[in-house]
Amino acid sequence: MGTEGLLFSELPEDAFGEDAVRRVLESVADVVIRQTPYRRVAVACYEEPVTTDPTSKTRLREYAVRGLSDEDEESILRFVADGRSTAGGKFRSESRIGDCYYLREGTTLDGSPLRIPSHRRYLDPEGWHRGDTLIVPIIGAGGIIGTISVDDPRDGARPSRAVVRRLEELAEVAAVAVCEACSLVRLTERDRLFQFLTENAMTGLVVAQGSRFRYANERAGELFGCLRDELLAMEPWWQVIHPEERRLILKEGIPLPAPNVTVRGLRKDGSPFWVQLRGWPMTYEEQPATVLNLLDVTETVNAEHLLKERALRDPLTGLFNRHYFDDSIHTELKRSQRYKRSFTLVMTDLARFKEINDRFGHQRGDQVLRDVAQVVLGALRESDWAIRYGGDEFLLVLPETGTRIEALTQRLETSVSDWAAKQLPGAGLRLDLGWATWTPESNLTISRLLQLADSRLYEEKRARHVADAGG
């Protein structure tokens, strides 16, 4: 939840308290993670304001952390539970950078619970050290009412002036929000904060009411490739979501009040992109509405898909690997059991492939495997799987096939033999096959199917060997 999302909410005057304070701190922590290079953050609110005087002490009223391990967060929880104090001595003039305080490894924080060394190692002696901490005071009525403490920068660098300034701006906004939540001051600059937070947000922000957008910031227009006025004139607003994803934000054609999903959005030109959509209920002009935070996560989603795909593919042939087979075959078995439909496992290997490696070298052998894999794929249906099971072994999964698959196996053998005759004349490369079929009547295990297919493969190889020798 971002700070902007919280301040959009129309909280009643009597709703401020510990829960609201925690939500503000969590919002600030989330914004710091998104908008600065730091991967660990702790945001604290004090029971009473402190000054920079080392004798000025107070206890933590509430805190929020992001990026810390369970063990690290437990140390803060114990600090708070024990009622220990934090002092103003950490705000030393010699450590000051702008309105922030950069405490290098080895300095003392006078009892602050927020200094927890990073588990990362930093190699640059002139850069960030694992024990470094950057502290940003949150200044409100009476003095320092809390802090934003950050460490573990992604780039391993010391804080730049631009980063410090961004943290100072966030602390200024946090001060107003914390004071409001604590009922220490009334928020008199809501309109200015609303404009500042929304128009300078890195994410798209819209207010949806019924089937229309009632507000959209500039970033939202950029995300969808159109002007804000075009978004506000759009009806229904969910046409900016891909049709296949709308079920995730609609229930019986009515928008969910506070969706929290990642869906495909649609730009004005029709091109899709991935957007993380988070919503919070609010009141707009005395009517229920929803504020939506929109974050473009296309690069992240594509990277995750690519990594997952690579983890399930054989890097040489591009076929699925054994890990994919082990993960997926039991799903196929359950589906076949449910619908009482057969499927077949075909085990294959390349006869005389070793001779190809010995004669032409392993580089040529690798190319042969790649080419044969494509030939095999070309002979299969779209619903069939092809797995590289071993060195020159391919395993085929053929859903919804009966016990008679001779036509398919003949097609596979012929396709590979024809390819080999053109590309490797005289080499005698061919595809040997053995198969086993699961049926509702047999109800064989996957392990047994593999054993039967493997046994049949070697029976076929022996039969070919005998035939070749007899010839």
Give per-residue pLDDT as tens, 406-416.
888 889 999 99
Listed residues 175, 197, 219: the one ending a domain? 197
pLDDT at 192: 55
Same domain, residue pair 264 and 120: no
Structural domain contains residue 91: yes
Helix, strand, coil: what percent of the chain each, to 5?
A: 40, 25, 30
Local confidence band at 198 (pLDDT 50, 70, 90 cut-offs): low
Which residues are bridge partners to 202 per DSSP?
Answer: none
Report if residue 307 sits inside a domain.
Answer: no
Q: Which two tokens stand for residue 332?
A: 């196929």
370 and 266 within one domain: no
Please indicate, yes or no, whether residues 287 and 352 belong to a single structural domain of this protein.
no
307: Cβ contacts below 8 Å, ≥ 6 apart: none
Same domain, 10 and 65: yes
Nearest to 56 by CA among 45, 68, 48: 48
On average, the pLDDT of the chain sits at: 84
* Lowest pLDDT segment from 80-89, 144-153, 231-240, 357-366: 80-89
Cα–Cα dist 60/41, whole Å:
16
Question: How far is residue 354 from each of residues 314, 351, 365, measured CA to CA in Å?
Answer: 20, 8, 8
pLDDT band at 39 (very low <50, low <70, confident <90, very high): very high
Helices (H) and strands (E) in the chain, counts: 13, 18
Nearest to 44 by CA among 181, 176, 137, 107: 137
Question: Has residue 78 been placed in a domain?
Answer: yes
Is the same domain home to 47 and 98? yes
**440 in a domain, yes or no?**
yes
Average pLDDT value for residue range 76-105: 85
Q: Per residue in 223-272, pLDDT tens?
A: 999 998 899 999 999 999 999 899 888 887 788 888 889 999 999 999 99
Whether 323 and 347 map to the same domain: the answer is yes
pLDDT of residue 250: 87
Does any domain span residue 305? Answer: no
Closest CA to 391 of 353, 345, 435: 353
Q: Given 300, 326, 359, which residue is the final one in a domain? A: 300
Q: pLDDT-derived band of residue 451, with 50, 70 and 90 as boundaries?
A: very high
**Above 70 in pLDDT, residue 447?**
yes
Counting the structural domains of the chain, the total is 3
Cα(120)–Cα(115) distance, integer angstroms: 14
Sole residue written with tokens 């927020």: 114
Domain that holds residue 104: 3-197
Per-residue tokens: 112: 């602050």
For residues 444 and 463, membership in a common domain is answered with: yes
Same domain as 121, residue 98? yes
Q: What pLDDT does residue 274 have?
A: 93
CATH of the domain at 359: 3.30.70.270
Say if 306 falls within a structural domain: no
Last residue of a domain, one of 169, 197, 225: 197
Over residues 354-389, the pLDDT tens digits come to 888 888 888 998 999 999 999 999 999 888 999 999
Alpha carbon separation from 179 to 24, 48, 49, 176, 239 (Å, rounded): 10, 12, 11, 5, 39
pLDDT at 313 over 90: no
- The closest alpha carbon to 379, from 399, 404, 408, 345, belongs to 408
**pTM listed for this prediction:** 0.42
Kind and range of the H or E run holding 392:
none
Q: What is the CATH number of the domain that holds 26?
A: 3.30.450.40
The structure tokens listed for 11 are: 């909280």
User: CA angle at residue 218 from 299 to 228, to 5 degrees?
Assistant: 110
- The string of DSSP letters for 14-61 reads GG-SHHHHHHHHHHHHHHHHHHSSEEEEEEEEEEEEE-SSTT-EEEEE
438 CB-side CA count, 13 A? 28
Cβ atoms of 263 and 277 closer than 8 Å:
yes
267 and 135 together in one domain: no
Structural domain contains residue 416: yes
Question: Are 273 and 324 contained in the same domain?
Answer: no
Q: Name the percent of the chain lying above pLDDT 70.
A: 88
**Same domain, yes or no: 32 and 152:** yes
DSSP label at residue 469: H
Predicted pLDDT of residue 38: 94
Check whether residue 283 and residue 429 sit in a common domain.
no
Dihedral sign for Cα 25, 189, 282, 262, please.
Answer: negative
